[in-house]
Amino acid sequence: MPAVCQRTDCPVVRGDNRPMPTLHVSAGTSRALKWLAALLLAVPVVFITWVSVFGWNWARAPLQELVFQATGRALHIGGELSVRPGWPAPRVMAAAVTFANPSWATEKQMLEVERVEFSVDLIALLGRKLVFPEVRLTRPVVFLEQAPDGRRTWLLDLGQSDENARIPIGRLTLDQGQLGYDDGGQKTRLRAEVSSRDLLSGEASGSGVIFGVRGRYKGLALAAHGSGGPVLALHDDRVPYPLDIDATLGRTHIQAKGSVTSLIKLSAIDMHLDLRGDSLAQLYPLLGIALPETHAYAVAGRIVHSGQMWRFEKFAGTTGRSDVAGNLQIDHGAARPFVHGELVSRLLDLDDLGPLIGVRAPAAATDEKQTAAELAPAARAGTHVLPDLAFRTSRWNSVDADVSLRAATIRRAAGLPLDDLLAHFKLKDSVLSVDPLDFGLAGGHLKGGISLDGRRDPVEARARMVARHLLLARLFPGLDSAKTNVGQFNGEFALAGKGNSVGRMLATADGKVGLVLVDGEISRLLMEEVGLHLVEILQLKLTGDQAIKLHCAVAAFDVKGGVMETRGLLVDTEVSTITGIGHIDLGREALDLTLQPRTRNTSPVALRSPIYVKGSFSRPEVDVDKTHIVVRGAGAVALGLVSPVLALIPLIEMGPGVESECGRLIKAARTHSSGIQTPAE
């Protein structure tokens, strides 16, 4: 057992009984440590004493010089500067502050403020990043500008071009401020007033800010007013910011009420949106994506945004005289925005589809300048029937789309027996297709597809439509005297053309058109009138019309360079057979057809004559060969001088008998357009 030391200076012994080493501090070293501790304690004491006696104003000059060296722009603090310590975000207060714009800007100062208070994130500052979690401005005048070359005054590097050279602001409070923004390259100039008081009555709003905005946005006049929460959540992703806005952009009226999370990044949106305007296409400057031309519209629904997705949910409204409802979503995650949705209409007015295919509105109001190519056809819009308004294919590459439209009932002209509609629109890489395009027509269907290649100039177009089981009675409901309760039409056309409007596409079209009807009934009076059978016409006028057998009707055309040449044109009935030749010029919109009626049975008095269908699509003209009739009439008068009975001989029409050209022409039509089928098939 080792002996225990009884002295005070005994060495410390380890567990292995060896003594611990002793640290001997000299008197000089001890004094140095004491002075170091006193110095470390004195620095904050002196700093606090200095600040408490002289304040923070001494820091204005160094701070102003530091800002100038970093940005090349002058910061001036004309009033008191103070700091309220805190961790991790001390607060800085300053009065009478100005910060200059770069020399190229229109306005001299970017910021003039009566008083500014902001917090600084010290943790971010240690990482060499300046962040202001909160900023409060009293009576600020802020002017921001973007140059055509992309420089922006709010970027604080020397060239105003580094996206990282900006100070993120989490939450901003404005008390009676004025804001301005100019972007000459985008034809934008906005001026706004923001206040915590009602700008009209001067009474405190008590629940946030009230703002008003005027100017031009992308060339369109803008006027807006609204209200929001007391603190603008610029980069704050935690709390949704309440917003209520009423704006007019050009001829578009926008009302929105709800919340926005992060006003700068738009992290999330949940608002009720009400839109009204002359055409959905006028939303292009606002959305940056192409929407179709429409008549005046008004729609309302819920708009929701999260991540890369925007959704317009459960909206309903009208466009023209049609109702429309459905859901649309826009995905910004792809190379270009992708629009997907389903639209339904209980009642679709056929006229409201006109703008989609380039039909010019009677008094179209536009808020954008159209090119000369678009305006050139306007002079002839009054005389031309085919749509002539140019498609804006330059916008088609702004978006891809997959949208379906279904209409239950169609409002149309009385003589156009359309029932319903199903259309599937796709836009991909500037190629627009509508497939299927399915109309209910006269008890049957007109179905097919259309493709427009907007990558080409002029646009390359292809169309193929098939008509199946169209009822003759419903196809011509305006013929009150027609007994047309039997018979079905089948037909097909396939065309390809080039042009920037539907009219120009048809004017250059190549392809084929065919139509066949078999085993129907038609008005006898109508056919007697076509054959100019005077006795029969008078007789039917007295006794009433009758239904007669319509053996067949065939129309077949070859289309070349926009001209439809007849390959076969025939209507064969019990009374007469009508054949036709000629052409239809789609480019000139002109008709030149000759119809030759031939009586199947003997007619006592027939002023038989070719019938000419000429003129334009807008003003067709139907005439008979008056010279031919006069010659026949003169011969009848001369013979009548010999014998009254002989006067009837030139007017007696002997028909071709039972045989007709119908079967042969049907076979020709089948060869001409293999997709055409008769009802028997």
- pLDDT tops 80 at residue 281: yes
Out of 260-264, 310-314, 638-642, least confident range: 638-642
pLDDT tens digits, 571-601: 887 777 888 899 999 999 999 998 888 776 6
DSSP per residue over 97-160, as a string? EEEEPPTTSSSSEEEEEEEEEEE--HHHHHTT---EEEEEEES-EEEEEE-TTS-BTT--STTS
To which H or E segment does residue 547 belong? Answer: strand 547-560
The model's pLDDT over 104-113, given as tens digits with 9 standing for 90+, comes to 999 999 999 9
DSSP string, 23-52: P---HHHHHHHHHHHHHHHHHHHHHHHHHH
* pLDDT band, residue 28 (cuts 50/70/90): low
For residue 80, pLDDT over 90 is answered with yes
Least confident range from 17-26, 276-285, 488-497, 596-605: namely 17-26
Would you say residue 149 has pLDDT above 70?
A: yes
Residues sharing a CB contact under 8 Å with residue 181, sequence separation 6 or more, in sequence order: 143, 144, 145, 188, 189, 190
The pLDDT assigned to 113 comes to 97
What average pLDDT does this structure show over 166-179?
91
Name the pairing type of β-strands 241-249 and 220-228.
antiparallel
User: Residues 87-97: pLDDT tens digits?
Assistant: 899 999 999 99
CB 515 within 8 A of CB 467: yes
Would you say 254 and 245 are in contact if contact means Cβ atoms under 8 Å apart?
Answer: yes
Out of 319-328, 332-341, 377-386, least confident range: 377-386
DSSP, residue by residue, 237-259: -SSPEEEEEEEEETTEEEEEEEE
Residue, of 609 and 179, whose pLDDT is higher: 179
In this predicted structure, the answer to whether residue 361 has a pLDDT above a threshold of 90 is no
- The torsion region of residue 96 among left (phi > 0), alpha (psi -120 to 50) and beta comes to left
Specify the DSSP class assigned to residue 391. Answer: P
- pLDDT of amino acid 381: 43
Which of 8-22, 341-355, 534-548 bottoms out in mean pLDDT, i.e. has the lowest?
8-22
> 458: which DSSP letter?
S
Say what the pLDDT of residue 636 is: 41
Percent of the chain with pLDDT over 70: 69
- Number of CB atoms found within 10 A of residue 363's CB: 5
Lowest mean pLDDT among 23-27, 477-481, 651-655: 651-655
Q: Are strands 547-560 and 563-573 parallel, antiparallel or unpaired?
A: antiparallel
**428: CB partners within 8 A, 6+ apart:** 400
Other beta carbons less than 10 A from residue 371's beta carbon: 10
pLDDT tier at 378 (50, 70, 90 boundaries)? very low
Distance from chain centroid for Cα 290: 4
pLDDT at 370: 44
Do 564 and 540 touch, CB atoms closer than 8 A? Answer: no
190 pLDDT tier (thresholds 50, 70, 90)? very high
The pTM assigned to this predicted structure is: 0.74
pLDDT confidence of 201, banded at 50, 70, 90? very low
Q: How far apart are CA 79 and CA 100, in angstroms?
A: 17
Q: How far apart are CA 197 and CA 455, in angstroms?
A: 53
Residue 11: pLDDT band by 50, 70, 90 thresholds? Answer: low
Whether residue 500 contacts residue 477, with contact meaning beta carbons closer than 8 Å, is answered with: no
**Residues 434-467: pLDDT tens digits?**
999 998 887 888 899 999 999 999 999 999 999 8
For residues 139 and 175, is the Cβ–Cβ distance under 8 A?
yes
Average pLDDT over residues 465-483: 66
pLDDT of residue 27: 56
pLDDT score at 213? 97
* Confidence at residue 111, expressed as pLDDT on a 0 to 100 scale: 97
In which band, very low, low, confident or very high, does the pLDDT at 552 lie, cut at 50, 70 and 90? Answer: confident
The b/e string for 210-235 (b: 16+ C-beta within 10 A; e otherwise) is bbebebebbebebebbbbbbebbbbb
Q: Confidence class of residue 230 from pLDDT cuts 50, 70 and 90?
A: confident
**Which segment of 291-300, 511-520, 670-679 scores lowest on mean pLDDT?**
670-679
Question: In whole numbers, what is the pLDDT of the chain averaged over residues?
Answer: 79
Cβ(208)–Cβ(196) below 8 Å: yes
Least Cα distance to 594 among 629, 618, 554, 565 occurs for: 565
Q: Per-residue pLDDT tens for 125-141? A: 888 899 999 999 999 99
8 Å CB contact between 386 and 354: no
For the chain, domain boundaries: 278-359+381-439, 461-672
Hey, what are 165's tokens?
């050279």
Distances (CA, A) of 550 to 219, 485, 524, 526, 540: 62, 11, 10, 12, 18
CA dihedral 367, 372, 377, 381 (to 10 degrees): 30
Residues 127/105, Cβ–Cβ less than 8 Å: no
Measured CA angle at 369 (ends 363, 370), to 5 deg:
75
Q: Is the pLDDT of residue 640 over 50?
A: no
Q: Which amino acid is at 324?
A: V
Q: What's the token pair of residue 619?
A: 């003003």
